[in-house]
Amino acid sequence: MENFHITTDNYGNLTISPTDYGSWDNDSPNTSCSMSQAFFSENCESCSDGTRNLILNGDYLRAKIGRRFKNWDVPYLAIFLANNKNVVKLCLANNVIDSAGFIGLITHLLVHEYVQELDLRNNHIGDPGINFMYYNRDKLKLKVLRLRGNEIGTRNGTKVALTVADNKFIQHLDVAETNQNESSLIYFTTVLRSDLGFDNNLKILDLSRPSPKCAYSKADGQHVAETIGIALRYNATLEELHLQKFSFSCHDVEDMLRNAGHNRTLRLLDLRCNNIGDHGVGVLSKWLRNCCPLHSLLLGHNNISNHGVRALSETVPFSKLTRLDLSHNRFDDMGAVELFNAIFKLPLIKHIRIYGNNIGSLTAEVIEKLLELNIFEQKNIDLKVYRVDGIPCLAYYECD
């Protein structure tokens, strides 16, 4: 078996040539099972429009063939993709691809532009790979790029942000859990601003779970929240924003919404795993009343009590919300029943999560009634009602 390296000539043509294996991985390909063209084909999922998605998740591969996707598999994959141009999505999450493999993939995508989505979550991409993508940022035709879980750091984070700034094709960017701090997060918010001359088509941005080593001070959190709010004020493309684990307090949310209240495109706001509390929910409730376009609000793990749920219940009939996540907070039956009564009066909300609160039989009775009236479908609520000696009880239900 030969080892290969992907290069391009002066005209941009793809070439695959033998090379020393040491630059690709520490293990010889002769010691592991190789992935054949037939194997790649078997792991493609067909779509209704005739395209296919190639799913090579590392956990699945380890169970299937005893190892994960490695750098030296990239040339074989490139050959398969070149011969199967209907493969538009490539999922390589949870593998052991580093910068060498990433460069090989990007090189292929620069020549063959039909792949629209590249999922590289939880790999080992570093400086050389990010630098190579940055230098080719205006030629990359990807629509979706997922880099979650790669410890690319703040310096590389700014280069990813600048890649988006100069690229009109990327619409969905996931850089959650990539060891970012305040300085690099500012870059991501800055490139969203049309008032500064940035013109991109980004619709979905996930900045969740920045570096755990970077403990925000109160001033840092306030500054980040303010810059996010200003970015939303001057952005007319973003539809989803994920901000999990930013250590936001109620006052940070207030600072953010001072400017974000002018936004008219955002459809989903994810603030899970913060600490906005009842006051933060009150601020959000006022925003929802003010012609807010938001359809989905995710507030799980935010220390919200009955007071916060009551404020939200009073707002629900005047909002456009269809999805709401209040799981793992600290309200009880009183808050839950008040919320469901508001939904019953104007049943716009069709998807809801409230598991992990101090709720019991009273909430179970209301949920049972709403299911009977078809206001909710069981697949869209994360609690299932069952009875013990005639008393309604609740159990967790895995919903989408």
**Could you give the domains of the chain?**
4-396 (3.80.10.10)
**Amino acid found at 333:** D
Q: Is the pTM of this model over 0.95?
A: no
Q: Taking residues 30-34, what's their average pLDDT?
A: 53
* Rounded Cα–Cα distance for residues 181 and 29 (Å): 38
Q: Decide if pLDDT at 10 tops 50.
A: no
- Please spell the DSSP secondary structure of 119-169, one letter per residue: E-TTSB--HHHHHHHHHTTTT---SEEE-TT---HHHHHHHHHHHHHT-SS
Per-residue pLDDT at 2 exceeds 90: no
- Does 387 score more than 70 pLDDT? yes
pLDDT one-digit tens code per residue, 68-124: 999 999 999 999 999 999 999 999 999 999 999 999 999 999 998 999 999 999 999
Query: In sequence order, which residues have a C-beta less than 8 Å from that of residue 269 and are 6 or more positions away?
Result: 241, 243, 294, 296, 297, 298
How many Å apart are CA 218 and CA 150, to the nearest integer? 27
**What is the pLDDT averaged over residues 373-378?**
92
pLDDT in tens, 119-177: 999 999 999 999 999 999 999 999 999 999 999 999 999 999 999 999 999 999 999 99
Residue 347's pLDDT is what? 82
Contact 201, 186 (CB under 8 A): no
The pair phi, psi for residue 396, each rounded to 5°, is -65, 140
The mean per-residue pLDDT over the stretch 213-217 comes to 50
Residue pLDDT, tens place only, 274-298: 999 999 999 999 999 887 899 999 9
Does position 5 have pLDDT exceeding 60, yes or no?
Answer: no
| pLDDT value at residue 212 | 61
